[in-house]
Amino acid sequence: MADTGWIGAALAAARPRAVGALMRHFRDIDRAEDAFQEACVRALRAWPDNGPPADPTAWLIFVGRNVAIDDLRRTSRLGPLAEDHDVAVQPDMEGYLDDRDYRDDVLRLLFVCCHPDLSVTDQLALALKIVAGLSVQEIARAFLVAPKAMEQRITRAKRRVGAAGLPFETPSTAERTQRLAAVTKMIYLMFNEGYASAGGDAHIRVALCDEAIRLLRLLLGLFPGQSEVMGLLALCLFQHSRHRARLDRNGALVSLEDQDRSLWDGVAIREGSVLIEKALRKASPGPYQIQAAIAGVHCAAASAADTDWREIDRLYAALQEFDPSPVVTLNRAVAVSKADGPAPALAMIEPLSQALDGYFYFHGARAALLEEIGRLDEARSAYETALTLCSNAVETALVEKRLAGLSKKIAVPVG
Amino acid sequence: MLYSILIYGTEGLVEKLSPEEREALFGKHRHLQATMREQGKLGPVVQLMPTTTAVTIRGGGKAPLVTDGPYTETKEALLGVYIIECGSLDEAIEAAKLLPLDVGTLEIRPVNWFGGEHLHAGA
């Protein structure tokens, strides 16, 4: 029935706020999830006939709370309340709850998921389960593990978080800022987990990117002035806008240069651009905003040749100020090679050879620069080092192709 | 008489629908557009970007105050809408500031999709 589908979507949209409020009320993740689940069951019974309530989120919190209290009374033998009283009552929530009330609830819900005792995968799985409301099957698919194993992981993670104690006092401004930073980073990792995947299963993991974007929209809706959240949302939108162009028909990764740009999602790119403009107005730059600006320059180019590499070089220089890491320098060198040629780029990355010795992309990029300059034997040796550091078949195929091209050059010298 | 139809709803809900359900929903939009277009009675149609892209402008004493996020005061009514073309968000904000700010608040929301026709109001 089409109506039920619509209700399902409404329940999914209400979930983070409702579960967040219920967790504050019961101080227990499982109880909050169960209460929400039960409220959803009742919504599916009541809403098709009565239509959706004026404030579905408030309805779900109200009903979920009553059901759980009922349940508590039953188990403590105090006897149940009147049968089905909760469905009959339409709570008058007008002017009662707005986003200010949900802000800390949703933030807390996300924050307990990124508990430092948990591995990153466990953090992401927990957030997808509790906040996004994905099923264990869906999460297991996204992480390419068996549902049973994922279920155990999530149960263990919940127990650990519960044992560590949930942070229920209203956070101070400093704590709120710290929570926001932790949560934002967790969502960034969620996006990357989906984005970095390549090959045959990549389409499954697009779900991780979609959910990360949804969570960022939720977070930014609750904290509308946070320029780094704007930046990260813009970054994810720009990167995700290319997802249909990133894989060819055989599931192999297509480089940015070779992508069919007509497959890029213009709607996502426009939204990302607006968010970057909004963030810039706040004059409070940060690493996510700068990375988004870099991705935005790529998205704005009609063809690879039209890319404004000088602007990208300038933005990487700004990013180095925030994050002076060898990987950022390596990325900047790529922009420099496009703008000024391979020699200055190579000079820029040679000092990184120790720091990035075990890094596939370093040897790949160095090899490409050496090849461009014409130092072909050194290029071959660098490609061969890169080949030993590939982490998946797509990377291996890419390097092998370059090596094959190089062999031809060496065998048949031009000129 | 010209009429506007304003659509309210929960954000992020349409994305959670199945492709078939979404298709049915957009199908109803296309049906209305086709019906009105055939009769020469279709004006502009816009789909707005998410509220996370919005800014709000309030008359703030000497200088108008621009804040991030949509206008959320539900007790006030929507009185009018402009669709303008600007090269940047800053330009749109400057344009909006030309409007009277002492009797109302303005929200600027980028347009995701623009369609429909140019309509000459009869009267």
- Cβ partners under 8 Å of residue A156, min gap 6: A122
Contact B16/A13, CB-based, under 8 Å? yes
Q: Kindly tell me the burial class for residue A349, based on how many C-beta atoms sit within 10 Å of its own C-beta (0-12, 13-18, 19 or more).
A: buried
Residues of chain B found within 8 Å of residue A228, distances taken between Cβ atoms: none
Q: Is residue A59 part of a domain?
A: yes
- Sequential pLDDT tens for chain A (415 residues): 445 788 999 999 999 999 999 999 999 999 999 999 999 999 999 999 888 898 899 999 999 999 988 887 877 765 544 444 444 344 444 444 667 779 999 999 999 999 988 999 999 999 999 999 999 999 999 888 999 999 999 999 999 998 888 888 888 999 999 999 999 999 999 999 988 775 556 677 888 999 999 999 999 999 999 999 999 999 999 999 999 998 888 777 788 999 999 999 999 999 999 999 999 999 999 999 999 999 999 999 999 999 999 999 999 999 999 989 999 999 999 999 999 999 999 999 999 999 999 999 999 999 999 999 999 999 999 999 999 998 877 788 889 999 999 888 877 655 4
Domain-ending residue, one of A196, A224, A252: A224
Contact A42, A88 (CB under 8 A): no
Contact A215, A131 (CB under 8 A): yes
To probe the interface with A, which of B8, B13, B67, B91 has the most A CB atoms within 10 Å?
B13
Half-sphere exposure of A344 (CA within 13 A, CB side): 9
To probe the interface with B, which of A206, A274, A280, A289 has the most B CB atoms within 10 Å?
A274
Determine the distance in angstroms separating the CA of A54 from the nearest CA of chain B, rounded to an integer. 11
pLDDT, mean over chain B: 91
Asked if residue A199 and residue A111 are part of one domain, the reply reads yes
Q: Is residue A305 part of a domain?
A: no
Asked if residue A150 and residue A78 are part of one domain, the reply reads no
Asked if B17 has any chain A CB less than 8 Å from its own CB, the reply is yes
Write the residue in B16, B68, B110 that is nearest to A224 by C-beta: B68
Domain residues for the domain of A177 are: 98-224
Domain-ending residue, one of A42, A69, A97: A97
pLDDT, mean over chain A: 89
Determine the distance in angstroms separating the CA of B32 from the nearest CA of chain A, rounded to an integer. 20
Q: Is residue A204 part of a domain?
A: yes
3-state secondary structure of B106: strand
pTM: 0.90
Asked if residue A200 and residue A89 are part of one domain, the reply reads no
To probe the interface with B, which of A278, A284, A289 has the most B CB atoms within 10 Å?
A278
Residues of chain A found within 8 Å of residue B88, distances taken between Cβ atoms: 277
Residue-level pLDDT at A181: 95
CA distances (Å), origin A171, targets A114, A116, A174, A177: 16, 18, 8, 9
Using CA atoms, how far apart are residues A21 and A375, in angstroms rounded to an integer?
63
The closest alpha carbon to A231, from A282, A267, A178, belongs to A282
Contact A267/B113, CB-based, under 8 Å? yes
Residue of B nearest to A57 (CA): B10
Contact A277/B55, CB-based, under 8 Å? no
Using CA atoms, how far apart are residues B95 and B102, in angstroms rounded to an integer?
16
3-state secondary structure of A186: helix
- ipTM entry: 0.91
Give the residue carrying structure tokens 């105050």. B65
Asked if residue A86 and residue A35 are part of one domain, the reply reads yes
Asked if residue A145 and residue A116 are part of one domain, the reply reads yes
Asked if residue A219 and residue A106 are part of one domain, the reply reads yes
Q: How many domains does chain A have?
A: 2
Residue of A nearest to B53 (CA): A275
CA distances (Å), origin A105, targets A19, A169, A385: 8, 11, 49
Asked if residue A23 and residue A133 are part of one domain, the reply reads no
Asked if B8 has any chain A CB less than 8 Å from its own CB, the reply is no
Using CA atoms, how far apart are residues A332 and A371, in angstroms rounded to an integer?
19
Write the residue in A8, A210, A277 that is nearest to B89 by C-beta: A277
Domain-ending residue, one of A54, A70, A97: A97
Residues of chain B found within 8 Å of residue A233, distances taken between Cβ atoms: 52
Provide the edge-to-edge strand list for the sheet that holds B65-68.
B65-68, B55-58, B106-108
- Give the tokens for residue A203: 């389409």
